[in-house]
Amino acid sequence: MARKLFGTDGIRGTANSEPMTAETALKVAMAAGQHFRRGEHRHRVVIGKDTRLSCYTMEPALVAGFATMGMDVFTFGPIPTPAVAMLTRSMRADLGVMISASHNPYIDNGIKLFGPDGYKLSDEIEAVIEANVAKGTRKLAPPAELGRVKRLDDAQGRYIEFVKATFPSARGLEGMKIVIDCANGAAYSVAPTVLWELGADVVPIAVEPDGFNINEQCGATAPGNLQKVVLAEKADIGIALDGDADRLIVVDEKGEVVNGDQLMAVIAGDWHINGRLRGGGVVATVMSNLGLERHLGELGLDLIRTDVGDRYVVEHMRGHDYNLGGEQSGHIILSDYATTGDGLVAALQVLAVLRERDKPVSEVARPFKPVPQLLKNARKDGGAPMKNAGVKAAISDGEGRLGASGRLLIRPSGTEPVIRVMAEGDDNALITEIVDSIVTAIEGAGG
């Protein structure tokens, strides 16, 4: 059965439109509850959310659905996605739920599900839940076995202590001035608290959510204001999280952005030297820069590439015993600590390296020179342009011109009617010519 609800990161869409309606949330909760009710113990579900206005419609619907199936529900209020994953495990819950559309604007929302092990559900389990939604048949709990609902007031405190315990430096963060951009999202309270309790001089920004301003000109996808504040405050570093705090971008003391590829290189190099890196390398996606691959190769490490999506990175890490992986966008998975991307935990690892080396971010956080990379979208109006002879010829020509000194990646978008064309190589003019040629061929192929 073709999946209609679940995408690469749970269920996502425009708030109060299908599938992001309270009605569908209720059905998803009941279907998931039916699948995860196993045995005679009191089943429990934990639910976190970000700061979107629509969370106030989605949360009660999910709570009702799970309670109807006889599952006890613990709600956390606004809290990062990785906190939900962590608390799912530590509280021995049968299921964890995060209500968030991550880095998307407030008009969108989403539902992310975590299994008892704290990992996002597999494609197979999501397919079963989706089939249960479609069937609409439920084995409801009898009146005496309805689930109970409780707000867990110390959820944020539990996560704060967990994050602090991942910081490896005994020196703390005393003497460091840190600007933290919380994207008016789920980490608006916990992130500044963690940094302050570790000793930093903290300048928090985008920490006044109003239901509408999550990710609005702030956070990991829009670091412009963070750059300005770092310079104005003469801060040592700027840290930007996204709306659900599973993504990290850093700004150095000069106001320049450092992306996920560079941050993974920093952590990998430090862990390699200290004997902490497992698997002999790093797991990233096909979008990570060729410069990262070359840099790791110089250290005797491998870069393993997966499909786009942090869930595929995690899947490979689990299957092959790697403990570091992530995406160029800033999802960084440190499996010694977390089952999913955790922007705050990753930030502390970078801060620990800065502490150890006593050098500014600009000298530490760019261990390699990125290879020129260009990504463009080619619109398609149905049909199968990738089968067109002209398109195939343009791709073949591009691959030949790049040779072994570059990389060409062409993939259809999972969310838009476009084909993404990406090329990278040492010659910026050449990759521009190649990408433009392929985009022109795709758009000229017709239906």
Packing angle between helix 260-273 and helix 343-357, nearest 10 degrees?
A: 60
DSSP class per residue in 220-238:
TT-THHHHHHHHHHT-SEE
Give CA–CA dist 112/54, Å, rounded: 15
CA 78 to chain centre: 17
Q: Where is 10: in which H helix or E strand?
A: strand 10-14
At residue 331, the 3 state secondary structure works out as coil
Packing angle between helix 290-298 and helix 260-273, nearest 10 degrees?
A: 10
Note if 102 is an active site residue: yes
Among the listed residues 54, 102, 288, 329, the single catalytic one is: 102
Report the phi/psi class of residue 280: left, alpha or beta, with left for phi > 0 and alpha for psi in -120 to 50: left
At residue 392, the 3 state secondary structure works out as helix
Query: Strand pairing partners for 48?
Result: 77, 98
* Angle (nearest 5°) at CA 325 between 193 and 55: 50
- What does the CA dihedral 290, 330, 165, 74 come to, rounded to 10 degrees? -140
Residue listed under structure tokens 């993974």 = 264
The distance in angstroms from the start CA to the end CA of the chain is: 26
Give CA–CA dist 261/241, Å, rounded: 16
* Cβ atoms within 10 Å of 390's Cβ, excluding its own: 13
DSSP state of 148: P
Please, are residues 371 and 290 in contact by the beta-carbon 8 Å criterion? Answer: yes
Catalytic residues: 102
